[in-house]
């Protein structure tokens, strides 16, 4: 394989203009009803030259919320807000998937309806603090989901998938990474169940399989992507054998013919990589998106070696709305302002400058 970062690629029936994916990034700038609004439309439209945009994670229900001012995809207002985003991105010739999530134990009663206790596969308290509207508060011990409660959450994913279609998205990504509810079921450090949703790798994958089954009743398989993070310790996550377990999960995904597999390679916290991602990628015959700390040089090397088909960039796209143009022309990148990553207004969100003469600048 000798793919170029700027060459087109087919993902199902979609043709992406380049191999650069804008990674999902929580920005905490939805309105008081957790709906996208004018500011969010501008943000995504500015970055529409990405081959594919994957939106910030968007909760599938009020019970799935984990952070302040994150968008959902379950109400009419949210659908209307997202429709403005998808229309703007499509007007620029871009493609956009929405990432669906349910935070599970990475939440707090202050963030949930009727101050309910967050749920998880097992009643294991994560370390650290939840981010709430009144500031950081220690995580609470979650309530283990009853077996007969799980179908309700699966149904919420189906509803969110239906709403995403109404909002005009090109597809959906199931967020099964970074310590949120699906990941909590997949990894044995957080799943100590003894019923059909726990113990073996096969059982721990059952929740994800049920979600994939139901959303693929709404969307063609080739419009459904999946994100995994085999060894990321963020949100107090661990697994006894991520190489073996995630090799199994990926092998079970292969027959589904999904749009892509999006993998956060390594540990965001320690920066270490113990899993053999080349082997993991080699066992998946579909489109593979590599993610975690890639720059232009590393991305092109990975593509050239056949280690991936697309590369997701997070902070570089956050700080450079015209990242594709800058990489094409070997231009310097804007310096990201970490103080404005989460929450706030236009500052550090839509006011990063475009490079002179960039295509994106000419259209805005």
Distance CA 45, CA 25 (A): 15
What per-residue confidence (pLDDT) applies to 16?
98
What per-residue confidence (pLDDT) applies to 59?
98
Structural class in CATH, domain 9-362: alpha beta
What per-residue confidence (pLDDT) applies to 363?
41
Q: Which of 142, 243, 244, 121 is nearest to 191 (CA)?
A: 121
What per-residue confidence (pLDDT) applies to 358?
55
Between CA 339 and CA 351, with CA 345 as vertex, the angle to 5 degrees is: 80
Contacts of 350-353 with CB under 8 Å at 24 or more apart are 350/39, 350/42, 350/43, 350/46, 352/318, 352/319, 352/320, 352/321
What per-residue confidence (pLDDT) applies to 2?
63
Choosing from 180, 260, 325, 327, which is the catalytic residue? 180
What per-residue confidence (pLDDT) applies to 49?
98
Distance CA 90, CA 113 (A): 35
CB 21 within 8 A of CB 311: yes
CB 230 within 8 A of CB 201: no
Distance CA 148, CA 166 (A): 29
Quote the pTM value: 0.96
What per-residue confidence (pLDDT) applies to 34?
98
**Positions of the chain with pLDDT under 50:** 1, 359-364
What per-residue confidence (pLDDT) applies to 94?
98
288 backbone dihedrals φ, ψ, rounded to 5°? -120, 125
- Burial class, 124, CB count within 10 angstroms (exposed 0-12 / middle 13-18 / buried 19+): middle
What per-residue confidence (pLDDT) applies to 354?
98
Q: Which of 104, 52, 128 is nearest to 291 (CA)?
A: 52
Which residues is 328 bridged to in the sheet? none
Between CA 226 and CA 231, with CA 228 as vertex, the angle to 5 degrees is: 175
Q: How many residues does the chain have?
A: 364
| 74 tagged catalytic | no
CA dist 92 to 12, 23, 206, 264, 341, Å? 21, 18, 39, 28, 25
CB 73 within 8 A of CB 174: no
What per-residue confidence (pLDDT) applies to 364?
42
What per-residue confidence (pLDDT) applies to 360?
43
Q: Which of 290, 298, 296, 340 is nearest to 316 (CA)?
A: 296
């Amino acid at each position: 394989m000798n793919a170029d970062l700027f060459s087109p690629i087919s993902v199902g029936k979609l043709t992406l203009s380049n191999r650069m994916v804008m990674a999902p990034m929580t920005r905490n700038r939805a309105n008081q009803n957790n709906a996208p609004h004018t500011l969010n439309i501008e943000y995504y439209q500015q970055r529409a030259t990405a081959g594919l945009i994957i939106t910030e994670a968007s909760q599938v229900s009020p019970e799935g919320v984990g952070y302040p001012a994150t968008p959902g995809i379950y109400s009419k207002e949210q659908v209307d807000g997202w429709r403005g985003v998808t229309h703007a991105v499509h007007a620029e010739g871009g493609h956009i998937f929405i990432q669906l999530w349910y935070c599970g134990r990475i939440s707090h009663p202050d963030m949930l309806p009727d101050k309910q206790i967050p749920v998880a596969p097992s009643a294991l308290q994560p370390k650290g603090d939840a981010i709430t509207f009144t500031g950081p508060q220690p995580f609470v011990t979650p309530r283990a989901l009853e077996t007969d409660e799980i179908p309700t959450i699966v149904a919420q994913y189906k509803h969110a998938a239906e709403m995403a279609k109404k909002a005009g998205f090109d597809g959906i990504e199931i967020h099964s990474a970074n310590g949120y509810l699906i990941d909590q079921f997949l990894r044995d450090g957080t799943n100590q169940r003894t019923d059909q949703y726990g113990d073996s790798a096969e059982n721990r994958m059952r929740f994800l399989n049920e979600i994939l089954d139901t959303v693929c009743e709404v969307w063609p398989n080739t419009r459904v992507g999946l994100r995994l993070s085999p060894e990321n310790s963020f949100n107090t996550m661990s697994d006894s054998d991520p190489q073996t377990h995630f090799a199994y999960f990926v092998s079970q995904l292969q027959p589904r013919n999904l749009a892509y597999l999006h993998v956060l390679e390594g540990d965001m916290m320690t920066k270490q990589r113990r899993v053999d991602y080349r082997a993991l990628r080699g066992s998946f015959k579909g489109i593979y998106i590599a993610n975690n700390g890639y720059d232009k040089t590393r991305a092109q090397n990975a593509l050239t070696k056949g280690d991936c088909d697309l590369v997701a960039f997070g902070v570089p796209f956050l700080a450079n709305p015209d990242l594709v143009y800058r990489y094409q022309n070997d231009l310097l990148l804007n310096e990201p302002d970490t103080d404005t990553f989460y929450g706030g207004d236009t500052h550090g969100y839509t006011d990063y400058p475009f490079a002179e003469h960039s295509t994106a600048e000419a259209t805005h």
